[in-house]
Amino acid sequence: MPKASYTATEAARELGISVDTLRRWERDGKIRTERDSGNRRRVPLAEIERLRGGDGAHHMSARNRFHGTVTSVEVEGLLAQVELTVTEPARVVAIVTRDAVKELGLKPGMAATAVVKSTSVMVEL
């Protein structure tokens, strides 16, 4: 049975990020934390699930995930180029189908995650 809240270290491990990134996200308002009686950070399970993109009902084998914000969407013919500015020091550009852009409702300014597996980049919300 999952815990109701996690330590900063446990939460970072669950999200696949560093504790420094978790602290930065907290400072930037991207993640909500609580404090225990010893003033230590606790991350509610609901926050971890929100940042993972839901209740964990679907899992992917991809390990490289870059959380960020859609900065541009360019549609031409059947394909679309989606650019994300990610919280890690990187920029990810994905070529996806026009239908995927429409289905996901991708627009500049939205939060999204680039999932990298081998030579493919997929976008998930």
pLDDT tens for 22-34 read 999 999 998 999 9
Shared domain for 120 and 71, answered yes or no, is yes
Show the beta-strand stretches assigned E in 47-124: 64-76, 79-86, 91-97, 111-117, 120-124
The answer as to whether 42 is a domain residue is yes
pLDDT of residue 60: 53
Q: What is the CATH number of the domain that holds 94?
A: 2.40.50.100
pTM to 2 decimals? 0.45
Residue 54, amino acid: G
Q: Is the pLDDT of residue 48 over 50?
A: yes
If asked whether residues 37 and 77 sit together in one domain, one would say no
Answer yes or no: is 59 within a domain. no
117 and 83 housed in the same domain = yes
